[in-house]
Chain A
Amino acid sequence: MFEALKGGGGAMRRNWLLVLVAFVVVCLAQVMLASRQEGTTENSDVAKAVTDLDHQWLTAATNRDTNALQRIFADGFTEVHAGGEVVDKAKQISQIAATTTKLDIHPEDIVVRYASPDVAVVIDKTVVKGTRQGKDITGTYRVLRVFVKQQGEWRAAGAGLTRIAAEQSSTQ
């Protein structure tokens, strides 16, 4: 009987040790998850990815490359144009594709204000030369852009634009 208890005690100790190891593993998993969700380890990669996508977006708009824009814009994409017009993905692409639209657009001073593994908020200064649906929209704009990661791909979720003040009074 005593021998059995001795043997049982050894097994019990092993099991408690395993439970302890399990506890440590669970805690480590929790810490790793929290780290991923806060994006502490991947922010520089996110910043590079969305900065590249910002350039691709405006290059596609300049080239009226609507296939690229279909890929870049998330479903549910929303843009607020300077002056207050709100457009969804379909309307934004149709405006860019219009024969009366001719744009040369590029971003400057891109700053990633918030980055996590699946969301980024970016501010840039976007310089526009040209017309959208026949209307001259040449100017410099401050733009707030939002990017989300969907099925492993970064996509543009939306943007809001306001004309930078120095030029606002002369063109509105």
Chain B
Amino acid sequence: MNAGKPLPIALVAVLFLVFNQVVIGHNNGNLPASADVTTIVSDLDHQWLAHARTRQTQFLHELFTDDFVEVLDGGQILTKAQLIGSIEASNTQMDVLEADGIQVSQVSSNVVILTDRTTIKGRLNGQDVTAQYRVFRVFLRQQGKWRAAGALLTRIVPGTK
């Protein structure tokens, strides 16, 4: 009997470990939103544009999810590789690429919708894209890191709030 006593202890340890992995591990994706999510994704938004303007595409490779998609004003769809390729193209030149008027809505612990007004002066793939755009951006938290999953740009019609 004495020799069998450690057995329940081992079982308790097993149950604890399984509980820890299944329950706590699962909830990691659903923790309450931290107060600084707005700051984090707003900062990422600024960094996104700064690195695109200066063609520091390594940052963009890390920021964009593998399935990242961008919809340009007019409806053209670009994948992660296509967008980064366009930013690196020799006929792309961004003199101004900056965001203001950022609004953040956290719709779940792992999903944020961010809107901003993005001012662009320059050319993308040789095409003049100088204008102000309203941009709809999607950020996802993956393995604890916030990453950009998509964006859509629409040129702001004068007088639009």
Question: Could you tell me which A residues sit within 8 Å of B by CB distance?
Answer: 4, 7-8, 10-12, 14-15, 18-19, 21-22, 25-26, 29-30, 33, 36-37, 74-78, 80-86, 88, 113-114, 118-119, 121, 123, 125, 141-144, 146, 148, 150, 157-165, 168, 172
**Complex Cα gap A37–B3 (Å):** 42
Contacts of B103 in A (CB 8 A): 78, 86
Q: Is B134 an interface residue (CB 8 A)?
A: yes
Contact string against A for B residues 122-143, beta-carbon threshold 8 Å, 1 for contact and 0 otherwise: 0000000000011110101000
Binding site for A on B (CB under 8 A): 3-4, 6-7, 10-11, 13-14, 17-18, 21-22, 25-26, 29, 65, 67, 69, 71-77, 103, 105-108, 110-111, 113, 115, 117, 133-136, 138, 140, 149-157, 160-161
20 chain-A/chain-B pairs, Cβ below 8 angstroms: A4-B3, A11-B3, A15-B7, A18-B7, A18-B11, A22-B10, A25-B17, A33-B25, A76-B107, A83-B134, A84-B156, A85-B161, A113-B67, A114-B140, A121-B69, A142-B152, A146-B111, A146-B150, A150-B108, A162-B73
Q: B25 and A121: CB pair below 8 A?
A: no
Give every chain A residue within 8 A of B22 (Cβ-Cβ).
Answer: 29, 33
A33, A118, A160, A165: which contacts B108 (Cβ < 8 A)?
A: A118
> Contact at A144–B75, with CB atoms within 8 Å?
no
**B110/A164 in contact, CB under 8 A:** no
Chain A residues with CB below 8 A from B75, complex form: 125, 141-142, 162-165
Contact status A85-B160, CB under 8 Å: yes
B3→A7 contact, CB < 8 A: yes
> B115 — which chain A residues lie within 8 A by C-beta?
78, 80, 86
A146 contacts B138, CB within 8 Å? Answer: yes
CB contact between A30 and one of B25, B105, B140 (< 8 Å): that residue: B25
A18 near B10 with CB under 8 A, answer yes
Partner of B134, one of A18, A21, A77, A84: A84
Q: How far is the CA of A12 from the CA of B3 in the complex (A)?
A: 8
Chain A residues contacting B13 (CB-CB under 8 Å) are 19, 22
The distance in angstroms between the C-alpha atoms of A157 and B13, with both chains bound, is 41
Contacts of B117 in A (CB 8 A): 84
User: CB < 8 Å: which of B17, B67, B76, B154 contacts A80?
Assistant: B154
Q: A72 CA to B142 CA in the complex, in Å?
A: 25
Also in contact, A80 and B65, with CB within 8 A (given A123-B77, A146-B138)? no
From B157, which residue of chain A is reached at the shortest CB distance? A83
Question: Could you say which of A33, A77, A157 contacts B21, with CB atoms under 8 Å apart?
Answer: A33
Give the distance to chain B from A24, nearest Cβ to Cβ, in Å: 10
Query: Closest Cβ of chain A: how far from B131's Cβ, in Å?
Result: 11
Chain A residue nearest to B21 in the complex (CB): A29
Interface centre among B4, B110, B154 (most CB of A within 10 A): B154
